[in-house]
Chains A and B, each alone.
Chain A
Amino acid sequence: MTNTPLQALVTLNDPVYLDAAKALSQKVWAKSGKNPDVAIQELYRQLLLMPISEAKKKSMIELFATAKTEFDRDPKARDEFFPGSDASLAALAVTANAMMNLDEYLTKP
Chain B
Amino acid sequence: MSLDKLLNELVSQKLQTQTRRHFLLDCVSKMGGLALAPLLFGCELGKNGTANGGLNLSDRDLNPLSPQPAPFLGKAKSIIYLHMAGAPSQLELFDFKPELAKYHDQDCPASLLEGRKFAFIRGVPKMLGPQAKFSQHGESGAWISDYLPHFSKVADEVAFLKAMHTDQFNHGPAQLFMQTGSPRLGRPSLGSWVTYGLGTENQNLPGFVVLTSGGKTPDAGKSIWGSGFLPSVYQGVQCRSKGDPVLYLEDPHGMSRELKKHVVSAINQSNQEDFQNFGDPEILARINQYEMAYRMQIEVPEVMNINDEPAHIHELYGTQPGEESFANNCLLARKLVEKGVRVVQLYDWGWDTHGTDHDGSIDMGLRNKCRSIDRPMTALLLDLKQRGLLEETLVVWGGEFGRTPMQENREGKKMGFMGRDHHVDAFTMWMAGGGVKKGTSYGITDDFGFAGLEERTSVHDLHATILHLMGFNHEQFTYQFQGRPFRLTDVHGELITKIMA
Contacts and interface: CB of A to CB of B under 8 A. Distances in A.
A95 B249 CA distance: 20
B491 interface: no
A8 B293 contact: yes
Contacts of A70: 256, 258-259
A109 B17 contact: yes
Contacts of A7: 289
Chain B contact residues: over half helix, strand or loop, or mixed?
helix
Interface string B247-283: 1111111111011101111110111011000000011
B290 interface: yes
Interface in B1-60: 7, 10-11, 14, 17, 19-21
Interface string B213-236: 000000000000000000011010
Given A3-B289, A53-B273, A103 B283 contact: yes
Interface in A50-109: 50, 53, 55-56, 59-60, 62-63, 66-67, 70, 76-82, 90, 94-95, 97-98, 101-104, 106-107, 109
A55 to B, nearest CB: 5
A62 to B, nearest CB: 7
Nearest to A80: B254
Contact of A8 (B238, B282, B289): B289
Indicate the size class of the contact surface on chain A.
35 or more
Contact of A50 (B14, B250, B263): B14
B21 A109 contact: yes
A8 B19 contact: no
B256 A77 contact: yes
B293 A50 contact: no
B288 to A, nearest CB: 9
A5 B237 contact: yes
Nearest to B237: A4
A9 B297 contact: yes
A90 B292 CA distance: 26
Contact of A9 (B7, B282, B293): B293
Interface in A20-63: 45-46, 49-50, 53, 55-56, 59-60, 62-63
A97 B300 CA distance: 23
A63 B250 contact: no
Most buried by B among A5, A78, A90, A94: A5
B473 to A, nearest CB: 30
Contacts of B271: 102-104
B415 interface: no
B282 A3 contact: yes
Contacts of A59: 266, 269-270
Contact of A13 (B206, B232, B248): B248
Most buried by B among A76, A81, A101, A106: A101
B246 interface: yes
A91 B362 CA distance: 62
A59 B19 CA distance: 24
Contacts of B285: 3
Given A3-B282, A50-B11, A101-B290, A13 B252 contact: yes
Contacts of A15: 252
Interface in B195-216: 206
A10 B237 CA distance: 14
Given A4-B235, A49-B14, A60 B266 contact: yes
Contact of A103 (B10, B250, B286): B286
Contacts of A76: 254
B154 interface: no
Contacts of B287: 103
B296 interface: yes
A56 B276 CA distance: 13
Contacts of A45: 7
Given A8-B290, A13-B252, A14-B248, 5 more contacts: A3-B233, A4-B289, A45-B7, A82-B254, A103-B271
12 contacts: A4-B289, A10-B247, A12-B264, A46-B7, A49-B11, A50-B11, A60-B270, A62-B262, A70-B258, A80-B254, A97-B252, A107-B282
